[in-house]
Amino acid sequence: MSVEVDLLLQEAKESIEAAQNYRSELQQRLHGLNQARKQVRGSSGQAREVLRRHFTELQAAATRLLTERLSALLAEVDTIEADSVKPLDDCQSLIEHGVGQADELLREGEAALRCGLGEKEDKLGSFTKKAMHIQLDSLPEVPALVDVPSVSAQLDDSLLGLLRDRVSRHGSVSSHPPVQIEELQERPGSILVRWCKVDEDFAAADYRLQYRRSGSGGSQYEDAYIGRDSEFLVLHLDPHTDYLFRVCARGEGRTEWSPWSIPQTGYTTLAPHEWCPGTEGYILSSRRNIAMRNDSSQSRCPVLYSKAPTYFCGQTLTFKISAAGQMDRRDSLGVCVDSQKGAESLQRDQAVCISTNGAVFVNGKEMTNQLPAITVGSAVTFDMEVVNLFPISNNNLSEGGNFKLRVTIGSGNREVVFDWLVDQAVDCLYFGCSFVHSGWKVLVF
């Protein structure tokens, strides 16, 4: 009987645990459902507010433009009227003056005819002289109606049709953005953001990526990238800090941007790559990720190492050249197991590097394959992965190594791939550079 009870108790405990897990899963799904509803409600409210604000501003702008145009046309009518009426008014004044003179002459003539014989000769002589002075045969010219303006307004009735057509196609409402963030991949002091189209009918000409710190009320989104690529490495990020990323797109032949994607949160736990301060012949930027060679002494070519071994296998290490000096075959950009003090180049044992002339060195030996020469704008990448870990033995050590890494160095549109044997197991590596001549400037990320 006790065995049966124990079995029943065990089954009851398992059922209770299963019920608890089931309830927990349902609660999580309920939370996700509430988040989805909140997103639908919130985005719909924002869309309504954007539409109302835009069309209110559009109506005000259209009313203002129409009012300004009406005022300009009325001003043109006023100007034409004023310019045209003035000569007519002047002509009228001249005619009215002539009518007055004629009336006065008529009165004097009639008075001269009615006067006595003693005064008639004098008054008739005075009347005749005055009549000759007035020039009764000279009349002012009055313009014909066809020669004076007849003001009219010409209005294009097609404007309303064009406006109706444009307004009917102005704006759109979409339930999903045409592009979404696909992946956030942490890198040292940075995050690689990848995005993709989710609307196959949308022809994207450009993408726009923005980011900001998460949880900062006053923090505004800022542009990180605008271009045709579908991924971008956002640099200068603080480790263990959440950042929000969003992306939108612009269609072919369009000027406006699409709606933003759903913001995604990302962070990096990896410390940023930094050059080691205090190395002779080099000036570092404030973030210590940019180094400039400022000492042209050819007697010594010091190696500038990283502050710590922050490069891990599986990552991509990039050197970006923003300024170039004179090339020298002893120059080097690369990765090494340790930071040997006093070394003048990475063309040595336990290091792989590329020279500015494109030559590739593995443990101090030059390879047959060569990459393009390094110039301003060049980006040199190093990718490594563990191939095989040999058993540690004296025989293996004497053969040149017990740890094999597959190395890919890329420069320009070319790359070389080879296996690199090191004499100890390593999980992190230093990077470094050396330049004989001044003027070289390199960013690492």
Tokens of 295: 């000492």
In the predicted structure, residue 389 carries a pLDDT above the cut 50: yes
Rounded-to-integer distance, Cα 50 and Cα 244, Å: 22
> Above 70 in pLDDT, residue 374?
yes
Under 8 Å between Cβ of 440 and 324: yes
Q: What are the pLDDT digits (tens) for 234-289?
A: 998 999 999 999 999 998 888 889 989 999 999 999 889 999 998 888 999 999 99
Q: What is the pLDDT of residues 126-167, one digit of tens each?
A: 777 776 777 666 777 888 888 888 889 998 888 888 989 999
Give the pLDDT band of residue 400 (cuts 50, 70, 90).
Answer: very low
State how far the Cα of 270 lies from the Cα of 239, in Å rounded to an integer: 6
367-380 per-residue burial string, b: 16 or more CB within 10 A, e: under 16: eeebbebbeeebeb
Q: Which helix (H) or strand (E) holds 31?
A: helix 2-114
- The total of other beta-carbon atoms located within 10 Å of residue 288's CB is 16
CA–CA separation, 341 and 176 (whole Å) = 57
Please give the pLDDT value at position 296.
54
Model confidence at 426: pLDDT above 90? no
Topology (CATH level 3) of domain 282-390+400-444: Jelly Rolls (2.60.120)
- Is residue 370 pLDDT above 80, yes or no? yes
Architecture of domain 179-268: Sandwich (2.60)
116-126 CB burial, b ≥16 within 10 A, e <16? eeeeeeebeee
Give the span between the Cα atoms of 20 and 39, in whole angstroms.
Answer: 28
Across 5-26, average pLDDT = 90
Pairing of strands 290-293, 304-305: unpaired
Segment 315-327 shows an average pLDDT of: 93
How many other CB atoms sit within 10 Å of the CB of residue 21?
A: 10
Label residue 391 by pLDDT band (50, 70, 90): low
Question: With 90 as the cut, is the pLDDT of residue 67 above it?
Answer: yes
- Give the CA distances from residue 205 to residues 52, 120, 222, in Å, rounded to whole numbers and listed in that order: 29, 104, 20
Task: Flag the least confident range among 348-352, 386-390, 431-435.
Answer: 386-390
List, for residues 68-120, the tens digit of each pLDDT value.
Answer: 999 999 999 999 988 888 888 888 888 888 788 777 777 877 776 777 666 76
Domain ranges of the chain: 14-140, 179-268, 282-390+400-444
Q: Give me the residues paired with residue 229 across strands.
A: none
> SS3 letters for 220-284?
CCEEEEEECCCEEEECCCCCCCCEEEEEEEEECCCCCCCCCCCCEEECCCCCCCCECCCCCCEEE
pLDDT for position 146: 85
282-390+400-444 has the same fold as 179-268: no
Question: Considering the chain, what percentage of its residues have pLDDT values greater than 90?
Answer: 54
Is the pLDDT score of 28 beyond 60? yes
- Gap between the Cα atoms of 445 and 435, Å rounded: 19
Strand-pairing partners, residue 58, are none
HSE, side-chain direction, 13 A CA sphere, residue 48: 6
| Higher pLDDT pick, 168 / 137 | 168
Residue 55 binned pLDDT confidence (cut-offs 50, 70, 90): very high
